Amino acid sequence: MNLRRLPLDKHKGLSAYKLYSSKLQIQAHDCFHRSSTCVNGHSNWIILNPSGLLKGQGFFVAVSVEKGGNLADFGGKDLVWPSPSDEIPFWKKEFPSWDVSPKVPIEVNKDNEFMHIIHVTAELAPIAKVGGLGDVVTGLARACLSRGHRVGVMLPFYECILKEQINDLTLITSYDSYHDGIWIPTNAYCGVVSGVTIILIEPSNQFFKGQSVYGGSYNELEAYLFFSRACLEWMQVTGTQPDIIHVHEWQTGALSLLYWDMYHYLSLKKPRIVLTIHNMEHFGECSKEQLSKCGLEGSVYASIDRAVDDRTVNHNPERLSLLKGGIVYSNAVVTVSPTYLKETLCSGWLSSTLIRNRDKYIGILNGIDTTIWNPASDVFLPAKFHAQNFEGKKLCKYYVQRGLGLATDDHVADMTLKVPLVVCITRLVAQKGLHLIIQAMKHVEKLGGQMIVLGKSTDGEVEREFEGLANLHNQGRSIRILLIYSEELSHILYAAADMVLVPSMYEPCGLAQMIGMRYGAIPVVRKTGGLADTVFDLDDQPNHEMANGFVFEGIDEVSLNWAMDRAFAYFRDKPDKWNRIVKKVMEIDNSWNNTAGKYVEVYDSVRTRW
């Protein structure tokens, strides 16, 4: 089925589509359920309401497509099929809106007591996103807004942020914030992104300049120390006293120290601090002298019960960890899945600190924003679909296969669609199981499937290795390696994929498997961290109710191959069962509706009541 969205959306809450298909059958029932009508071989204007049911004037319509249709014919009339030789690649063309969801859903039950929450973060999707951190802050902020809370997000005004992506951008405060013996003139801007109010902190020095969120030519650690203090300074200058300051990762760990040892003695009395650890591998290594640059006395924190890196005790010099300081000084510490919580209590040098702080350490599984990640309304997709009818997914798959040269123009769509398509969308870092990603490409090719890797690396050696692989494979008909970051392409690939591969060595939570499922891609994952909490093996009989993917445990090729073999066998030999699983995974609720409430409970348990 090919549904083309109309440029004008006249009906509030309804989307208008033009529908083309020679194989299409429409069954229409009027409001009294009196009759049904069949239309064949016509072009019709139809309206799709948010629940995915088709609605015509006076009719509720269910659409089905005859089996055996050739998708190449379906969109032929209107959809322009992409090709690898296109001057503008299909994921860079103009889309109706860059902000996938400018409004926050309102039809959510409100909490009884409202709080004011300010997130302080290094990333925010989509304007400053590198990985899951950006998605999580945007998703959680929107979920809490929907529940009736007042939510703001503070982040650095990176030079690379595109101003046109921010609604109502306005300079609101010019003030000075301390760094290394001087007060730096600083601007705070207010704006709105995906329905969330943001405050961007822009110092007048070189901090946060450059073409990417991380890796500029300034000292990153010092820049985030400055940012942590500048956020508190802004709250003090403007008299802003939220109930909760929610900090994320090592970058904002020093804010807890600054709050309790400085600003709480000045004018900020009300806020309490919640820290979320998204990945314990990055712990913000810092010297005492560097910490002193934000105005604290660095040596005060060089003890086991404060911020010293336990591994460096009695070394010369000892080092500090901003993440450890954050754990000690925050009122509550959250990590992003129950299994990662257990893993971090058992291994890693921070485990002793976490054990000492066990009573305030909690595991809350991340959610995904199901309005932003919604295949039924995603502006980047060539065809929309949902769990009740995912014919559009086939069109997305064929669209990608054509666009990346994985199908010849004269290939029949039906044949091409029978080739299983695996996608892997990830930062290319060791944590993500690079050797298994490479092995998967070999194995998928051997099994006669297709695989697309969308990944970005900041490590020159990894970049070169994958560039070599791209040169080797990108001309053939099985593998595509795209070494870029593209939000648009990621949406299209999730929609196109039959399987989403996440073979991580460790994974605090992982969003790729949840997003993949939302778009009907069956996850193939290694059993670790949040992957173990969200994906359950289809061949695990006792756990049949939960079963939704393919899971392997080892870090070797044999373990991965075994999972891929099983996934391919299901896809090829049991198509009806496969379709049932696709429907099942699309219906799994991994939304923030499920887990934001747990954050609200944490906020509520630490906030002051006056």
Residues that bind ligand ADP (CB under 6 A): 131-133, 135, 425-427, 454-456, 485-487, 490, 509-512, 515
Closest to ligand ADP by CB, 242 or 510: 510
H or E segment at 226?
A: helix 220-238
Residues 332, 360 contacting (CB under 8 angstroms): yes
**Please, what is the minimum distance in Å from the beta carbon of residue 498 to ligand ADP?**
17
Cα–Cα dist 369/54, whole Å: 24
Residue 35, amino acid: S
Closest to ligand ADP by CB, 47 or 196: 196
Closest to ligand ADP by CB, 325 or 455: 455
Closest to ligand ADP by CB, 322 or 515: 515
**Please, what is the minimum distance in Å from the beta carbon of residue 283 to ligand ADP?**
15
**Please, what is the minimum distance in Å from the beta carbon of residue 131 to ligand ADP?**
2
**Please, what is the minimum distance in Å from the beta carbon of residue 135 to ligand ADP?**
5
Of 371, 339, 375, 376, which is closest to residue 592 (Cα–Cα)? 371
Q: Which neighbouring-strand residues pair with 273?
A: 245
Per-residue CA distances from 514 to 41, 366, 373, 435 (Å): 38, 10, 10, 23
Query: Can you tell me which residue has the tokens 């069962």?
Result: 577
**Please, what is the minimum distance in Å from the beta carbon of residue 365 to ligand ADP?**
12
Crossing angle between the packed helical segments 592-606 and 132-146, to the nearest 10 degrees: 80
**Please, what is the minimum distance in Å from the beta carbon of residue 225 to ligand ADP?**
23
Cα–Cα dist 395/1, whole Å: 8
What does residue 375 show for φ and ψ, rounded to 5 degrees?
Answer: -65, -15
Closest to ligand ADP by CB, 126 or 156: 126
Closest to ligand ADP by CB, 121 or 177: 121
Closest to ligand ADP by CB, 135 or 222: 135
Residues 152, 199 contacting (CB under 8 angstroms): yes
Residues 6+ apart with CB under 8 A from 72: 81, 398, 412, 413
**Please, what is the minimum distance in Å from the beta carbon of residue 431 to ligand ADP?**
7
**Please, what is the minimum distance in Å from the beta carbon of residue 121 to ligand ADP?**
13
**Please, what is the minimum distance in Å from the beta carbon of residue 512 to ligand ADP?**
4
Tokens of 173: 């405060």
Residue 86, amino acid: D
Cα–Cα dist 216/459, whole Å: 14
Closest to ligand ADP by CB, 132 or 503: 132
SS3 248: strand
Q: What is the CA radius of gyration of the chain?
A: 25
**Please, what is the minimum distance in Å from the beta carbon of residue 549 to ligand ADP?**
15
Cα–Cα dist 491/425, whole Å: 10
**Please, what is the minimum distance in Å from the beta carbon of residue 155 to ligand ADP?**
16
Of 90, 38, 93, 94, which is closest to residue 61 (Cα–Cα)? 38
**Please, what is the minimum distance in Å from the beta carbon of residue 92 to ligand ADP?**
13
Cα–Cα dist 130/426, whole Å: 10
What does residue 512 show for φ and ψ, rounded to 5 degrees?
Answer: -55, -40
Closest to ligand ADP by CB, 235 or 560: 560
Closest to ligand ADP by CB, 120 or 336: 336
Of 521, 467, 526, which is closest to residue 493 (Cα–Cα)? 521
Task: Tell me how crowded residue 183 is: count the other CB atoms within 10 A of its CB.
Answer: 11
Closest to ligand ADP by CB, 134 or 216: 134
Closest to ligand ADP by CB, 145 or 500: 500
**Please, what is the minimum distance in Å from the beta carbon of residue 143 to ligand ADP?**
16
**Please, what is the minimum distance in Å from the beta carbon of residue 504 to ligand ADP?**
8
Of 238, 206, 239, which is closest to residue 223 (Cα–Cα)? 206
Closest to ligand ADP by CB, 71 or 453: 453
Closest to ligand ADP by CB, 216 or 510: 510
With DSSP H G I counted as helix, E B as strand and the rest as coil, what are the percentages for the chain, rounded to 5? 35, 25, 40
- Prior bond of 317 cis (ω within 30°): yes
Residue 531 CB-half CA count within 13 A: 26
Residues 416, 81 contacting (CB under 8 angstroms): no
Q: Which neighbouring-strand residues pair with 361?
A: 333
Distance of CA 363 to the CA centre of its chain: 18
